[in-house]
Amino acid sequence: MNYYYEIKSRLIDNEIYSRVKDYSKERYTLRTYYEVGKLLAEAGGKYGDDIIGNYSERLSTEVNKKYNSRTLRRMRQLYQFFENQKWSPMGTKLSVSHIRQLFCFHDCNEIDYYAEQVVKRNLSKRQLEEIIKNDEYRRLPIETRKKLIAKDKIEINDLVPNPILIRNKNRIKIFNEKVLHYLILEDIESFMNELGNSF
């Protein structure tokens, strides 16, 4: 099998398909990147082969300059991520951008939690970045995490992170109930997001 021409063919198909305004465009891109990642993993099996370097030079010229070595490495990483998670990329409702945010995690339960939050709360890439940065999963009570792993019934109050993060834009140092009330009202949207969609 000539891996380079197979990869080139799929990327060209994806370039054509991405110009079509269609709701399934992101899913097609995900599938293409997964398949290209698989081909790259198979092609680069020999020690010392610079498959990604060689292919990226040619693909950048012949298909689109965005297919540089970094992009191809991410495609291979995407494939390896799905293989490690035992997920089907075709079954996921996440975009490539969402999935890249999950690459840093090694705990399958944490990955599943954030993936589920994207779907349930219809999170954008930026919103997912925010809840990951705020360490939302690790702030859930241990009992809630156990329920999530066991797929037990979850109550609304189980999903309230502890501690609740309240934005303090003005860096007010003295806290009392009145100041806390002010800070919550100052950024009520952020506070409600902390409590979760169920609220």
pLDDT of residue 152: 84
- State how far the Cα of 194 lies from the Cα of 52, in Å rounded to an integer: 42
Better pLDDT: 124 or 169: 124
Question: Do 79 and 4 lie in a common domain?
Answer: yes
Q: What's the pLDDT tens digit per position in 50-62? A: 888 889 899 988 9
pTM: 0.64
Residue range of the domain that includes 170 = 164-199
| Of 95 and 157, more confident | 95
Total number of domains in the chain: 3
Are residues 151 and 169 located together in one domain of the fold?
A: no
Q: How confident is the model at residue 167 (pLDDT cuts 50, 70, 90)?
A: low
Q: How distant, in Å, are the alpha carbons of 94, 160, 161, 162 from that of 195? A: 23, 5, 7, 10
The predicted-structure confidence for 89-148, as pLDDT tens digits, reads as follows 666 778 888 888 988 888 888 998 998 888 888 888 899 998 899 888 998 888 888 888
**In sequence order, what are the residues at sequence separation of 6 or more whose Cβ sits closer than 8 angstroms to the Cβ of residue 42?**
3
Is the pLDDT confidence value at 176 over 60? yes
Same domain, residue pair 168 and 147: no
* Last residue of one domain, picked from the residues 31, 65, 90: 90
Tell me what the pLDDT averaged over the chain comes to.
80
Residues 2 and 72 in one domain: yes
- Residues 175, 150 share a domain: no
Same domain? For 71 and 3 the reply is yes
**pLDDT above 90: percentage of residues in the chain:** 6
Please tell me the chain's helix, strand, coil percentages from 3-state DSSP, rounded to the nearest 5. Answer: 65, 0, 35
Mark whether 157 and 104 lie in a shared domain. yes
Residues 6+ away with beta carbon under 8 Å from 34: 75, 78, 79, 82, 89
Q: Is the pLDDT of residue 41 over 70?
A: yes
Under the banding of pLDDT at 50, 70 and 90, the label for residue 172 is low
Structure tokens at 40: 């790259």
> What is the per-residue pLDDT across 76-91, written as a single tens digit (0 to 9) for each?
988 888 887 777 666 6
Cβ neighbours of residue 99 closer than 8 Å, sequence gap 6 or more: 30, 78, 81, 92
Q: 62 with 106, same domain?
A: no
Residue 191 confidence (pLDDT): 66
Answer whether residue 25 shows pLDDT above 70: no
The packing angle between helices 188-195 and 177-186, to 10°, is: 90
d(CA 149, CA 75): 29
- Whether residues 157 and 169 share a domain: the answer is no
Asked if 133 and 197 sit in the same domain, the reply is no
The pLDDT value given to residue 2: 83
Instruction: Among 71, 90, 109, identify where a domain stops.
Output: 90
User: Average pLDDT in the 55-76 region?
Assistant: 89
Query: Which pLDDT does position 163 carry in this prediction?
Result: 66
Residues 43 and 81 in one domain: yes
Tell me: do 97 and 168 sit in the same domain. Answer: no
The answer to whether 72 and 33 are in contact (CB under 8 A) is no
